[in-house]
Amino acid sequence: MRKKIIAGNWKMNTTREQAEILGSEVVNMVADEVNSDALVVIAPPFVHLSLVGKHVLPHPNVYLGAQNCSQHEKGAYTGEISVEILQSVGVEYIILGHSERREHAGETNEVLAAKVDSVIAGEITPIFCCGESLEVREAGTEIDFVSKQLTESLFHLSAEDLKKVVIAYEPIWAIGTGKTASSQQAQDMHAALRAHLAGKYGQDVANEISILYGGSVKPANAEELFGQPDVDGGLVGGASLKSRDFVDIVKSMA
Ligand code: PEP
């Protein structure tokens, strides 16, 4: 059975003090209020990983995530962070290919294929982000566009390794805009991506891959989105910065 996952991407937010408060509040609220088998991932800025990890690591269902990593193993890459470094502070999930990194850091499908390999080799779970712009959606080519992102960054993997990947479908027009994809739009894309995976790897493998939805998920829309048969959880940006909202979203996954 595929895992249900709610991941919070804090992006470039939180001072040290705010990170400690937010991390501890989320972990305590999950411990007190959540009794489902949904997994929770918290991805703070790199510099707060150890601090937030102190709260997260003792909880069996809450995991530490990073927002990016280098594709290189180690060495002269000033300002970069390797999988090994992240692993050494307790990171178990790494978000890859967020649309903001594709846009601002020029990450291509090819670079992301190399990052996916490094993360899997380090025995960490990649959360591979994909999604189309408004322009692509208006042209009606969104399924081809997103399928190509999967083909070019994931389809070199063996079936065994593909099963280690979590996919996050995040339509760019819905990220941080307050504009959510309708539950039908999310379901249609998730089903199309699962069919694309099945075309290459077979239905049994495709059925094991968790596909999360991301883009203005909030307590008010989470239950309907997560109720779709091919939506296995969410990648949450803005709402993950408020412990009450984030934990209410986690509770919608139950
Ligand atoms: C994200 O950045 O992954 C995201 C989905 O952001 P938001 O929830 O704020 O739209």
254 pLDDT above the threshold of 80: no
d(CA 198, CA 203) in angstroms, rounded, equals 4
Nearest CA to ligand 1 atom 2: 237
Q: Are 212 and 169 in contact (CB under 8 A)?
A: yes
Q: What is the pLDDT of residues 110-133, one digit of tens each?
A: 999 999 999 999 999 999 999 999
Q: Name the pTM for this structure.
A: 0.97
Number of domains within the chain = 1
Task: Report the separation in Å between the CA atom of 159 and the middle of ligand 1, taken as the mean of its atom positions.
Answer: 29
Q: What is the pLDDT of residue 161?
A: 98
Residue 198 belongs to domain spanning:
5-251
Q: Which helix H or strand E contains 250, and what residues bound it?
A: helix 243-252
59 is catalytic: no
Q: 244: pLDDT confidence band, cut at 50, 70 and 90?
A: very high
Instruction: Assign residue 103 the CATH number of its domain.
Output: 3.20.20.70
Distance of CA 57 to the CA centre of its chain: 18
Q: What is the pLDDT of residue 127?
A: 98
Q: What is the pLDDT of residue 139?
A: 96
Q: Is 9 in the pocket of ligand 1 (CB under 6 A)?
A: yes
80 is catalytic: no
